[in-house]
């Protein structure tokens, strides 16, 4: 199959690029290895500066309908000390929305613009042939096909382990980094506050309440786990 552009990864970057390119009249193929909706380890907070982008992409109204309450304050927690400050609200306020919902909104918007979606399909090989890029994708159940385009955009994430030259090569170390996400019920945090929690050697960040009222905590740290 021949296209103007092939995009690997239908997350926010990939789907946004697909929408913008399709609106320019480009033939776009969007390749995503996972079925949607799917959850991701992510803070899931969208700042107010992204609202004009969501409006341009045609998903702002749906985003507002599904997102959590406006985040109007930020608070740093370090032991027993708490320092808080108001969030700038000139262009509105940011809110939280799970990647399972957010990414699906953008992917569906790309489809409405005429983007050709290959999902779930895993990109397994990329080579250059006669001035064009050829991407081989695994379509499941032992099947495969080749997509061809002069331009390929790697939007699969910098930590993605795959067989492409743009991916993290198999066997590459992560220097002991660990990331996780959790939603907590029954929390007493203010609904309009983004708490940032600091720990020795680690950093944990919370984006505040999700649409179901549960605070979402996304954390990362550099400690090595015991074997």
User: pLDDT tens for residues 86-99?
Assistant: 998 777 899 989 89
Residue 75 lies in a domain: no
63's enclosing H/E stretch is helix 60-66
Residue 172 three-state SS: coil
CA distance 89 to 155: 30
Please state the pTM of the whole predicted model: 0.86
Q: What is the pLDDT of residues 99-109, one digit of tens each?
A: 999 999 999 99
Instruction: Render pLDDT for 162-207 as a digit per residue (tens, 0 to 9).
Output: 888 887 665 555 566 677 777 777 777 788 888 887 776 666 666 5
The CATH number assigned to the domain holding 8 equals: 3.50.50.60
Q: Domain for residue 227, yes or no? A: no
Classify residue 191: in a domain, yes or no. Answer: no
Is 205 among the domain residues? no
C-alpha angle with apex 5: 3 to 7, nearest 5 degrees? 120
Please give the Cα distance from 144 to 157 (Å, whole number): 23
Q: What residues pair up with 81 in beta bridges, in sequence order?
A: 78
Domain presence at residue 36: yes
Range of the domain at 39: 1-44+98-168
- Is 66 part of a structural domain of the chain? no
Quick check: bond before 222 cis, omega within 30? no
Number of separate domains in the chain: 1
């Amino acid at each position: 199959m021949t296209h103007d552009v092939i995009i690997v990864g239908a997350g926010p970057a990939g789907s946004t690029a697909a929408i913008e390119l399709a609106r320019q009249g480009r033939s776009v193929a969007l390749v995503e290895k996972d079925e949607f909706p799917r959850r991701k380890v992510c803070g899931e907070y969208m700042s107010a500066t992204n609202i004009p982008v969501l409006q341009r992409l045609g998903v702002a109204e749906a985003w507002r309908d599904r997102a959590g309450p406006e985040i109007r304050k930020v608070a740093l927690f370090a032991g027993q000390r708490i320092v808080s400050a108001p969030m700038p609200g000139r262009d509105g306020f940011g809110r939280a929305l799970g990647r399972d919902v957010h990414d699906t909104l953008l992917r569906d918007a790309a489809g409405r613009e005429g983007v050709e979606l290959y999902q779930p399909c895993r990109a397994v090989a990329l080579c250059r042939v006669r001035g064009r890029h050829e991407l081989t994708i695994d379509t499941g159940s032992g099947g495969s096909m080749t997509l061809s385009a002069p331009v390929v955009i790697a939007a699969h994430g910098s930590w993605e382990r795959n067989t492409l030259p743009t991916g993290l090569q198999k066997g590459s170390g992560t220097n002991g980094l660990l990331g996780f996400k959790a939603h907590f019920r029954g929390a007493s945090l203010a609904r309009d506050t983004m708490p940032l929690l600091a720990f020795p050697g680690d950093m944990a960040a919370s984006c505040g309440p999700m649409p179901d009222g549960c605070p979402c905590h996304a954390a990362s740290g550099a400690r090595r786990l015991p074997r």
